[in-house]
Amino acid sequence: MKVTRIVISLVFVLAFIIAAVGCAPAKPAQPAEPAKKVWTYKDMTVGFLQTGSEGGWRAANSASFKETATQLGINLKFYDSQNDLAKQVAGFQQFIQDPEVDVIVMSPLEVTGWDQVLKDAKAAGKPVILSDRRIDGFEDYYVTFIGADFVEEGRKSGTEMCNLLKDSASKNVWELVGNVGAAPAIDRGKGFRETAEKCGIKVTKSQTANWSIKEGKEVTEAWLKETKDVQGVFGQNDEMAFGAIEALKEAGLVPAVDVKIISVDATAGAFQAMLDGTLNVTVECNPLLAPQVYEAALAALNGETLPKWIPSQESVFFMVDPKLKEIAAGRKY
C-alpha cells in the first residue's frame, strides 16, 4: 500500500514539473548572431605610411606595395611622408579619421613619437602593422612588425669587415649612418660594433649621411681632408657607400683595395659596384615585404593573433664570388 502511494505521488510531482516547464513562457528566440564578416583582400583598404623616397631600397619597397596591391585587388592609400616625422604622424591621424581605411601600415621614420596615434588607432579599432622598421615599446598597440633583424645585419657587416682587414696592421673604420633615430641606423651600428670590436676594429669616425649618395660623399670628403688613415668604410646602406667610393677615388685612394667597403641593402646598384670592383661586400636587407604585410593585415582583420615579429630572410654577397654576375642577373631589385 505504502509503495503505491509513493509511486502515485512521484507520478504527480513529475507531471507537475512537466506541466510547469511546458507552460513556462517560451524564451523569445534569440536573434541569430550576425554572421562574422570574413574579410578578403578585395574588401580591404590599407592606409600605408611610407618614409619617403630616399634610394634604391625604398623605391623597391614602394613598388612592392603598389604592385602587390594591384595583384591582390587591395585598395591602397599610399602616403609619402617625405622623410618628415611630423608629416608621417599627420598622415597617421588622417588614416585614423578616414572611414574607408580598415588597417594602417607604417614604415616608421623613427623609433619614438607614436604614443598618441597608436592609442587613437586602437580606440578607433584600426589594426596597425609595422613594416620594415620597428619602434620602441607599445607592442600592445600594433599587430606585428614585419622586417629585418637590423642588429644581425650590423653583426654580419662587422664580421665581414674583420675578414677583410685580417692582415691589416691598423683597423680604423669610418661609419656612414642612416637618419638619426631610425631603427636600422641605431641597430646596424650596435650590431657592427658587437662583432667588429672583437677583431680590434676601431670605429674612428661615425656620422649620419641620411641614406644618400650626396651626403655620403660630402661626409667622407670632409673626413679625408682631416686624415687618410682609414682602412674600411661601413655604409649603413648602399647609397652612402656609393658616395664614399666617389670621395675615395677623388682623393686618389682605390676603393675596395686601399680602403675596404661594406654596405647594407644589396640593391642592384651594389651588385654593379661589386662587378666594377669598388665594393667588397653587401649585406642584404629585403625590401619586397608587401605580400607578407598584406597577409598579416588580412589575418588581423579576421581576428587572428600573429607573432609580434615576422623576420624577413636575408643573405650576404661578395665581390669575389665567382658566380656574382649570374646572381646579379637574377635579382628582383
Binding residue count for ligand GYE, defined by CB under 6 A: 12
User: CB of residue 51 vs ligand GYE: minimum separation in angstroms?
Assistant: 7
C-alpha cell at 145: 612588425
C-alpha cell at 299: 589575418
Place of cell 554572421: 35
Helices marked H in 24-76: 56-72
Pair 129, 300: CB distance under 8 Å: yes
Q: What does the alpha-carbon distance between residue 215 and residue 66 come to, in Å, rounded to a whole number?
A: 29
Q: Which of 133, 156, 217, 260 binds ligand GYE (CB under 6 A)?
A: 133
154 binds ligand GYE (CB under 6 A): no
User: CB of residue 153 vs ligand GYE: minimum separation in angstroms?
Assistant: 8
184 binds ligand GYE (CB under 6 A): yes
Q: Which of 244, 247, 281, 285 binds ligand GYE (CB under 6 A)?
A: 285
265 binds ligand GYE (CB under 6 A): yes
Region from 25-33, 53-61, 123-131, 243-251 binding ligand GYE, contact rule CB under 6 A: 53-61
Residues of span 224-243 touching ligand GYE by CB under 6 A: 237
- C-beta of 127 vs 269, nearer to ligand GYE: 269
Residues of span 193-222 touching ligand GYE by CB under 6 A: 211
User: CB of residue 197 vs ligand GYE: minimum separation in angstroms?
Assistant: 22
Residue from 198, 199, 250 nearest 221 by CA: 250
Q: What does the alpha-carbon distance between residue 170 and residue 142 come to, in Å, rounded to a whole number?
A: 46
C-alpha cell at 260: 675596404
57 binds ligand GYE (CB under 6 A): yes
- Mapped onto helix, strand or coil, the DSSP state of residue 242 is helix
156 binds ligand GYE (CB under 6 A): no
126 binds ligand GYE (CB under 6 A): no
Residue from 128, 130, 120, 131 nearest 97 by CA: 120
Q: What does the alpha-carbon distance between residue 21 and residue 87 come to, in Å, rounded to a whole number?
A: 66
Q: Which of 46, 48, 55, 191 binds ligand GYE (CB under 6 A)?
A: 55
Cα-based torsion angle of the residue sequence 154, 63, 209, 233 in order, rounded to the nearest 10 degrees: 40
- Mapped onto helix, strand or coil, the DSSP state of residue 106 is strand
95 binds ligand GYE (CB under 6 A): no
Beta bridge partners of 47: 77, 104
- C-beta of 231 vs 267, nearer to ligand GYE: 267
Binding site for ligand GYE (CB under 6 A): 54-55, 57-58, 132-133, 184, 211, 237, 264-265, 285
